[in-house]
Amino acid sequence: MESANRWRPFCCERCRMADLGDWLSEGNRIPALEDDPSMELPDDAGFPVNDPMQQ
């Protein structure tokens, strides 16, 4: 089923572009969860170190 409003959920292209601009300029943000220590990876998680000074 095709919507009668091609800019849905916005009323028009101008509003769609204004909303996109707000996201790109970080005017809109999704709040982050508070730090949860149980979600942190240990220092020896096995990921490669990309430090050019150690090469």
Cβ contacts of 35 within 8 Å, gap of 6 or more: none
3-state secondary structure of 15: helix
Cβ contacts of 13 within 8 Å, gap of 6 or more: 7
What is the reported pLDDT for 31?
81
Burial classification of residue 10, based on how many CB atoms lie within 10 Å of its CB (0-12 exposed, 13-18 middle, 19 or more buried): middle
3-state secondary structure of 54: helix
What is the reported pLDDT for 53?
67
Q: Where are the alpha helices (DSSP H) in 1-55?
A: 13-24
Walk along the chain (55 residues) and give the pLDDT tens digit of each residue. 456 888 889 999 999 999 999 999 989 888 877 777 776 777 666 666 676 666 5
What is the reported pLDDT for 4?
86
What is the reported pLDDT for 5?
85
